[in-house]
Structure 1
Amino acid sequence: MLNPQLDRRGELIHLLTTEGLPRRHVERLLDAARALAGAGAARGPAAGLPVFLCLPGDAERDRSEFAAASARLGLRAVALDAGAGDALAGTVAGLEPGLLVLRHAASGAAHCAAVHAAPGLRIVNAGDGSHADPLPALALVQAIQDAKQDLTNLAVTLVGDVRHSRVARSAIHAMTTLGVPEVRAAAPRGLLPDSLAQLGARACASLREGLQGADVIIVLPLDVERISGALLPSAREYAQSWGLTPASLADARPDALLLPAGPLTPGIEVDGDVAASLAPAQAQLAGLEQRLREAALDLLAGGAP
């Protein structure tokens, strides 16, 4: 079966997910982002190509950052009406050649957009439901590479709501593709997907088991309002058993890297002391993700007609 984000020659035509993305393309995106970090504005033969931004109304920051990435590359950002994603097939079929940055509440929406896209339209998935969100996931992987260099001897632990986290799923796929030998998931059973083993991670029955000897810890945000009562007794119980504190982090390796996979709430996912230490990592990840936005747009624009 053909990978919908690759053409028949195996070249990248969409960025939909890290699942099944060949290692050479993962590495190419990471290398391109590093190259852009020290480069000036790059305006190549694709200058002026439209970048359609189909993002929900509450994604103003992401809209601004994709627009800034487009401008730096000499591309032309075009904001679509927030409701355009409601008629997705018709929207993508009617767009001119260029790039479409899409965020949609439905899992699989980016794949649907790729199937119905007009010729010459490249899709960048900026998050579809709980399925995939490749760019922030690749930023996490790049931060790990920058700190640890060799990924092939690491134990990486994700703590929190893996079941509903598209970033967690995308990060697991990217890490296993790049050779991370041990990926763990530490959370209450209701917050772990049934397909965890197929994703390439193993479940840990306690936070201590998950953190024991970990080289990297990725903390996932918890949507308390959505899951309380059904999958989680209470935020307080979660914090008591799974919240990160300096004491619990002592079970990890002394040089363990701690990375937030989104905004965290002190007193729930992490205590106040741990939260206060995360600002440098948050700033680093924001910078890496912006370079990856530019890298993805640049690579896909280069292959557009």
Structure 2
Amino acid sequence: MSTRLHHLISLAQLDRACITRLLDRAERMRDASLHGTRKLDLLHGRTVLNLFFEPSTRTRTSFELAARRLGADVVNFDIARSSTNKGETLLDTLHTLEAMHLDAIIVRHRETGTPEFMVRHAMSGVSVINAGDGNHAHPTQGLLDALTIRQHRPDFNNLTVTICGDIRHSRVARSDIHAFTALGVRELRLCGPESLLPEPDDVPQGHFTEDFDAAVEGADVIIMLRLQKERMAATLLPDESAYFERFGLNSERLKRAAPGCLVMHPGPINRGIEIAPDVADGAQSRILEQVGNGVFVRMAVLAEVLGR
């Protein structure tokens, strides 16, 4: 993957060198833009479209900020007022948008494989960036999580990372797993109730466990995931108080982790279900750093796929 990317659909095909290059570029973007206070002009004359078929706060806003800070024009596609509500197919929508001479489409969709479908059927040279598809991938979240960890714990080869929660339905977990594995993390623990863990063939990396206390023991990084209620059958919905009792990260459990363990969460947070409020807002929390890093990672990705 030494060549420049034209699309970003998943981290599964990216090697350590490519991921490191994107993380390095994100840090250069942060410094060059004075932590976002100064606009760069790398993408002047380029047009970026946000095509979000699912709700989003962090991802959509940070992609828009990233594109604008690089000097691009940004169009936010309003699904609620679009012809998709009149029965227009995704393929027709794609070709209609392409006819308006876009340079990049950032797409989020509930159906797994939608960004790849758009790459296969695009008739122009438009770049496609996956902002989350089904439970498949969320590559820029994986990159920003890796960047956040690297800023505090740069040697992945000596890290124990625990991911806990609804891993079965989480596209974030899959992208994190790809990123951390490529970067050489020493130990990756995947924890949750059996019904919310993926099949081993689906996620071959990592050690699976239902024992959260054991999964937290000595961990350098703990990433908590919310329950993906919109993607799971009603039969899989756990009792929230019982779930927090077994799999919630509270201050007592955090004491089992390594000193200075980083606490992370991709958001949105369900306080008191997967994480206690005092931990989410505590000294070891890096949740808001993740949000801030999201802008610089997405600047790096846009510059990679669209930069002249």
Instruction: Tell me the TM-score normalised to structure 2 length.
Output: 0.88
C-alpha change, 1:74 and 1:276, in structure 2 (3 Å) is closer
Paired residues of 1:159 and 1:217 also in contact (CA < 8 A): yes
Q: 1:264 and 1:97 mapped to 2: Cα distance?
A: 34
1:15 and 2:12 are equivalent in the alignment: no
Q: 2:236 and 2:108 mapped to 1: Cα distance?
A: 25
Q: Which residue of 1 aligns with 2:95?
A: 93
Q: 1:224 and 1:81 mapped to 2: Cα distance?
A: 24
User: Is the partner of 2:236 in helix, strand or coil?
Assistant: coil
Give per-residue Cα distances to partners, 1:37-82, cap 9 Å, x unaligned. 01133223x4211101111363366444322221211111122241
RMSD of equivalent CA atoms: 2.3
User: Is the partner of 1:38 in helix, strand or coil?
Assistant: helix
Q: Which residue of 2 aligns with 1:243?
A: 248
Paired residues of 1:173 and 1:199 also in contact (CA < 8 A): no
- In structure 2, the gaps of 5 or more residues are 34-38
Q: 1:195 and 1:84 mapped to 2: Cα distance?
A: 40
Q: Which segment is superposed worse, 111-120 or 267-276?
A: 267-276
Paired residues of 1:47 and 1:75 also in contact (CA < 8 A): yes
User: Is the partner of 2:252 in helix, strand or coil?
Assistant: helix
Q: Which residue of 2 aligns with 1:47?
A: 44
Give per-residue Cα distances to partners, 1:6-55, cap 9 Å, x unaligned. 7xx843110111112122221111111100101133223x4211101111
Q: How many residues align?
A: 295
User: Which residue of 267, 273, 281 corresponds with 1:268?
Assistant: 273
Q: 1:280 and 1:207 mapped to 2: Cα distance?
A: 18
Q: Which residue of 2 aligns with 1:115?
A: 120
Q: 1:278 and 1:106 mapped to 2: Cα distance?
A: 37
1:177 and 2:175 are equivalent in the alignment: no
Q: CA deviation at 1:197?
A: 7.0
Q: 1:39 and 1:11 mapped to 2: Cα distance?
A: 21
C-alpha change, 1:151 and 1:75, in structure 2 (3 Å) is same
Paired residues of 2:279 and 2:285 also in contact (CA < 8 A): no
Q: Which residue of 2 aligns with 1:231?
A: 236
Query: Percent identity of the aligned residues?
Result: 34
Q: Which amino acid aligns with 1:19?
A: A
Q: CA deviation at 1:248?
A: 1.4
C-alpha change, 1:278 and 1:99, in structure 2 (3 Å) is farther
Q: Which residue of 1 aligns with 2:171?
A: 166
Give per-residue Cα distances to partners, 1:169-195, cap 9 Å, x unaligned. 100000000111211111001111113
Q: CA deviation at 1:257?
A: 1.2
User: Which residue of 13, 19, 30 corresponds with 2:23?
Assistant: 30
Instruction: Tell me the TM-score normalised to structure 1 length.
Output: 0.89
User: Which residue of 71, 78, 93 corresponds with 2:75?
Assistant: 78
User: Which residue of 192, 197, 212 corresponds with 1:207?
Assistant: 212
- In structure 1, the gaps of 5 or more residues are 1-5
Paired residues of 2:191 and 2:208 also in contact (CA < 8 A): yes
Paired residues of 2:174 and 2:203 also in contact (CA < 8 A): no
Q: CA deviation at 1:239?
A: 0.9
Q: 1:57 and 1:29 mapped to 2: Cα distance?
A: 26
1:59 and 2:56 are equivalent in the alignment: yes
Q: CA deviation at 1:226?
A: 6.0
Q: 1:242 and 1:124 mapped to 2: Cα distance?
A: 33
C-alpha change, 1:139 and 1:49, in structure 2 (3 Å) is same
Q: 2:214 and 2:201 mapped to 1: Cα distance?
A: 17
Q: 2:216 and 2:109 mapped to 1: Cα distance?
A: 33
Paired residues of 1:151 and 1:179 also in contact (CA < 8 A): yes
User: Which residue of 142, 146, 149 corresponds with 1:137?
Assistant: 142
